[in-house]
A and B are shown apart, each in its own frame.
Chain A
Amino acid sequence: MAISEDPEGHEIRALASAVSFAGRRVLEIGCGDGRLTARYAPDAADVIAIDSDAEAVAALAAERMPNVVARVLGIEQLDAAPHSADVVLFAWSL
């Protein structure tokens, strides 16, 4: 299958124009299979990426990005410490 999502890179360019991920602690909510995560994570300090879709999270975890922790979790189950993220990203999930 030759599906390609945003090969033009509009999404990451829009995100990069508005947010600096350099050295930031990121919490991504609704990460899916990590399509967007893979594009910004190399710049971030660390990333916690959550999604309630176990299959998608497994696909993200299989990418083995060293600074990304992927968890099967909805935001209603998230017990993150106060002020523990510099960027909270709702990725098509609000």
Chain B
Amino acid sequence: MVDALRRAHRTVAPDGIVVDLHPDASPPVVEIGSRPTGHVDVEDGAHRHAAADATIATVVRDGLFAIERVVEFAFHTHADTIDELRDYIEENWRNARLDDLTVSRTREAAREMPGERPRAREHVILTVMRPRRQPVV
């Protein structure tokens, strides 16, 4: 991953920027309305996202980039039913699944809140990096 940012450093114009978007290391929350009902189990998610943080820290420490701005936001994936959400996540997210308890809790909450759709909420970090002309030695 450090190599990817080194390539980005070569490719970006001196007055350009490199932007990274990735979820933080916390497990995505399953919720309906504003009520949390469980988490998405992402097998290597915490490790993967922590590694992305470490990669950025490395290239900043090496003087390739300076962090110009960090923005955080919630990214929601909505479905009509919890079964639909589970199937979508298991088919489209890497090494991710919803456990049976989360599914049953969400079904129960859905019965109590007709009209509310289940969703998965990820906390995403956007980092804007400005290339340094010469790496800091």
Contacts and interface: CB of A to CB of B under 8 A. Distances in A.
Nearest to A5: B77
Contacts of B72: 14
Interface in B36-84: 52, 55-56, 69, 71-80, 84
Contact of A94 (B5, B16, B75): B5
B16 A87 contact: yes
A58 B46 CA distance: 30
B18 A88 contact: yes
Interface size class of A (residues with CB under 8 A): 35 or more
Interface residues of B, number: 40
Tell me the dominant secondary structure on chain B's binding face: strand
Contacts, number: 121
Contact of A85 (B16, B73, B77, B79): B16
B20 interface: yes
Given A2-B80, A4-B78, A86-B13, 9 more contacts: A15-B21, A19-B17, A75-B4, A83-B14, A86-B15, A88-B18, A90-B18, A94-B4, A94-B5
Interface of B: 1, 3-5, 7-8, 10-23, 52, 55-56, 69, 71-80, 84-85, 88, 124, 126, 128
The 6 closest A-B pairs by CB, nearest first: A14-B73, A86-B16, A88-B8, A90-B20, A10-B73, A94-B52
Interface of A: 1-8, 10-11, 13-15, 17-19, 24-25, 27, 29, 36, 75-76, 78, 80-94
8 contacts: A10-B74, A11-B75, A75-B8, A83-B12, A83-B13, A83-B14, A87-B12, A92-B21
